[in-house]
A and B are shown apart, each in its own frame.
Chain A
Amino acid sequence: MNVADNLSKPPVKKMNWDWVGVAPFFIFAIVFLFLPSLSIFYRSFQANDGGFTFDNIIALFTVRDIINAYKTSLQISLITAVGGAVFGFLLAYAVVLGGLPRGIRTFMSTFSGVASNFAGVPLAFAFIATMGNAGLVTRWIEGIFNISTRELGFSIYNMWGLSIVYMYFQFPLMVLIMAPALDGLRREWREAAENLGGNTYHYWRYVAFPILMPSLLGTMILLFGNAFGAYATAYAFSGSFINLVTILIGAQIQGDVLYNPGLGNALALGMIFIMGLSMAGYVWMQRRAARWMR
């Protein structure tokens, strides 16, 4: 074979196997995210007899219970996202920049790691057993002050009570994410701000918060989604006392009384839409907040 023969042959393209590394992720995303989403979309337009209908979608905007469920879910998600973010941020600040002993930081990190994953039935039971109608703390308060909390109108089985329960896993998540971000604030930035005549307010207003904003926004959207999609904790805690979208979906798909899978899928589609909107808002804010980042 001479040189001319070699030149006349097209170069052999080498197979690129790099994509194999990310294939499991894409397979996972297709099987457990895209296909279920497609299925939800398709079934949202299905009546109980299998025929095509717009009734389920129309119900989202016309049935009062459903509108209220979305309102309550959004309220709880917003309250616990903002509350968890503020409380978690302050806690992370105290641990990282508050000059506390190193041991406290280790303890807080471990606690946050556990607490952020402590949800569902065990969490609901823990609150019922401590602050429920016959809970340990409730009885203790009643015994000490000789009062009846129920007669005073105190109950944790409402939106605010559920918000407190959710906060138990929301703020530790904030601590876990914000602690490294606060660690990333360099001492020189504070000193430079001070050297240029700034005080603590100026530093936080113009330097630290804008630098932390992408992390704050990211965590808040995570907390929002965390609360918005929570089902087991709410169901175990309140049964169907609190009208949440997730509980309504459960009732429509599994319930004996309200069985209407098409409506359940439409409710889920509504949740996907709201999360999509939140994500779009997040991306827009993130772009503005992080335009200084590489």
Chain B
Amino acid sequence: MAFLEINNVSKKFGATEAVSDFNLQIEKGELVSFLGPSGCGKTTTLRMVAGFEMPTDGRIVMDGKDITDMPANQRDVGMVFQSYALFPNMTVAGNIGFGLKIMKKSAEETNQRTKEMLDLINMPEYAHRYPYQLSGGQQQRVALARALALRPDVLLLDEPLSALDAKIRVSLRAEIRDIQRKLGITAIYVTHDQEEALSLSDRVVVMNAGKMEQVGTPFQIYNFPETNFVASFVGTLNTAEAEVVDPARGLISMDGVQFVSADDLNGRKKGDKVRMSVRPERFNFADDQKKDNLLDCTIENITFLGSVVRIQVKIGKTVFNMDTFNNPFLELPKIGDNGQVTCSKEAVLVISH
């Protein structure tokens, strides 16, 4: 039995169904991300676990106990909000110790735990500062310490880094992951940032329009998207309409250019329309003639993105993005050059829906 079970949960606001038939089992100590665009229902689902929203249907079970109808202040969950939500009238220590004070813990215990939490977030000297005296990143670390001070069973993080600048985001997400691992706490992390979800999570739930599109490890989600939405939402993806040529051999044709795919085309027949996709980094210049797909192309554009160089190549009538690591000693082609690119048959994904 999983530690946290979200069973067939739905949430309606009037006629609008914000979350539809959500099913997820989370193991103890696991960090699961809800990833999706704005309005996809990820925050609503998180708020149902926190007790701020009541499900219209379904049950939520934590550690074998049904908490669906339990008030938010009796659930053993800690929450970190997108906007920090620190109490502005309290110092850092006051914020961290708030829950302990409510629980009527002794002053000694409160001080001890507050100190532990300040050490955990590496801010021991900030105890007497007010929130306005802290940077956004520091405020969010305090919010994290406040949520953890009561030793909750589950930690909920609602887009905790989205209000921070890019550099702080990267360092703080590593810090959050470290702390989560150190404490072995079960956590749900809501984000619309795919990089954040992929880098942090044990598993990712990709959501769209209130529904779960796919659940899997970051590796599975990125490399083997099961739906067109997941494929297009997670990472950059080249997609194009194609036609099945030979299902048995995995042959498809795009604008007359043939591709071999390793995906299972059984159940499809010759002439069926399909949607094929290839990740930009799966293309290579034709230094390996043994690759499954050897394709003639014309260089359309070259964009320098720092560690990566994005090259637009025209294959048939379709322009594909191709990413290659930046190498100062590598001679890049010129716009208008003709050449060949390759990709393996595993790189050519045929997405069912």
Instruction: Report the Cα distance A210→B81, complex, angstroms.
Output: 21
On chain A, the residues within 8 Å of B90 by CB distance are: 206, 292
Q: Which residues of A contact B130 (CB under 8 A)?
A: 291-292
Are B150's CB and A196's CB within 8 A? Answer: yes
Range class of the A interface residue count: 20 to 34
For residue B73, which residues in chain A have a CB less than 8 angstroms away from its CB?
194-199
Q: Is B83 an interface residue (CB 8 A)?
A: yes
Q: Provide the residues of chain A in CB contact with B74, threshold 8 Å.
A: 197
Is A195 in contact with B132, judged by CB distance below 8 angstroms?
A: no
A89 to B169, CA, bound (A): 41
Q: Write the A205-223 contact mask toward B (1 if CB under 8 angstroms, else 0).
A: 0110011000000000000
Q: Which of B72-114 contact A (CB under 8 A)?
A: 72-74, 77-79, 81, 83, 85-91, 98-99, 101-103
Q: Is B146 in contact with chain A by the CB < 8 A criterion?
A: yes
* Docked complex Cα distance between A202 and B87 (Å): 13
Query: What residues of B have a CB within 8 angstroms of the CB of A195 in the complex?
Result: 50, 72-73, 77-79, 147
What residues of chain B lie closer than 8 Å to A210, measured between beta carbons? 89
- Whether B102 lies near A188 (C-beta < 8 A) is no
**Contact in complex: A294, B72 (CB < 8 Å):** no
A293: B residues at CB distance < 8 A: 88, 132
Question: A104 contacts the other chain (Cβ, under 8 Å)?
Answer: no
- Residues of A with C-beta under 8 A to B101: 206
B150 contacts which chain A residues (CB < 8 A)?
A: 196-197
Contact B132 A192 (CB under 8 A): no
Residues of A within 8 A of B81 (CB): 188, 191-192
- Asked if B52 lies at the interface with its beta carbon under 8 angstroms from chain A, I say yes
The complex places the Cα of A291 from the Cα of B94 at a distance, in Å, of 14
Interface flag for A14 (CB, 8 Å)? no
List A residues 23-50 near B (Cβ within 8 Å): none
CB-CB nearest in chain A for B104: A197
Docked pose: A244 CA to B190 CA in angstroms = 63
Interface residues of A in 276-294 (CB under 8 A from B): 291-294
**B74 nearest CB neighbor, chain A only:** A197
CB-based nearest A residue for B147: A195
**Nearest CB of chain B from residue A101's CB, rounded to whole Å:** 16
Instruction: Tell whether, in the assembled complex, residue A294 and residue B132 are in contact, meaning their CB atoms are under 8 Å apart.
Output: yes
A157 to chain B, nearest CB (A): 44
> Which residues of chain B have C-beta atoms less than 8 A from A191's C-beta?
50, 52, 72, 79, 81, 85
Interchain CB contact under 8 A, A193 and B98: yes
**Are A196 and B146 touching (Cβ within 8 A)?**
yes
Contact indicator B102/A198 (Cβ below 8 Å): yes
Question: 1/0 contact trace for B227-264 toward A, CB 8 Å?
Answer: 00000000000000000000000000000000000000
Contact pick for B87, options A189, A199, A291, A294, CB 8 Å: A189
- A9 contacts the other chain (Cβ, under 8 Å)? no
- Binary interface encoding of chain B residues 140-157 relative to chain A, with 1 for a CB under 8 A from any of its CBs, else 0: 000000110010000000
Residues of B within 8 Å of A292, CB to CB, are 88-91, 130-132
A163 vs B170: C-alpha distance when bound (angstroms): 61
A64 within 8 Å of B (CB atoms): no
Known contacts A189-B87, A207-B89; A196 and B98 CB within 8 A of each other: yes
Which residues of chain A are near B85, meaning CB under 8 Å? 186, 188-189, 191-192
Given A193-B98, A197-B73, check contact A207 B83 (CB 8 Å). Answer: no
From residue A193, how far is it (CB to closest CB) to chain B in Å?
Answer: 7
**What are 10 A-to-B residue pairs whose CB atoms are below 8 Å?**
A191-B85, A192-B79, A192-B81, A195-B79, A196-B102, A196-B146, A198-B99, A207-B89, A291-B130, A293-B132
Question: Chain B residues in contact with chain A, CB under 8 A?
Answer: 50-52, 71-74, 77-79, 81, 83, 85-91, 98-99, 101-103, 130-132, 146-147, 150
By a beta-carbon cutoff of 8 Å, the part of chain A in contact with chain B is 186, 188-189, 191-199, 202, 206-207, 210-211, 291-294
Q: A196-B99, A198-B99, A291-B130 are in contact. List 16 more A-B contacts (CB 8 A).
A: A191-B52, A192-B79, A192-B85, A192-B87, A194-B51, A194-B72, A196-B73, A197-B73, A197-B102, A198-B98, A207-B89, A292-B89, A292-B90, A292-B132, A293-B88, A294-B132
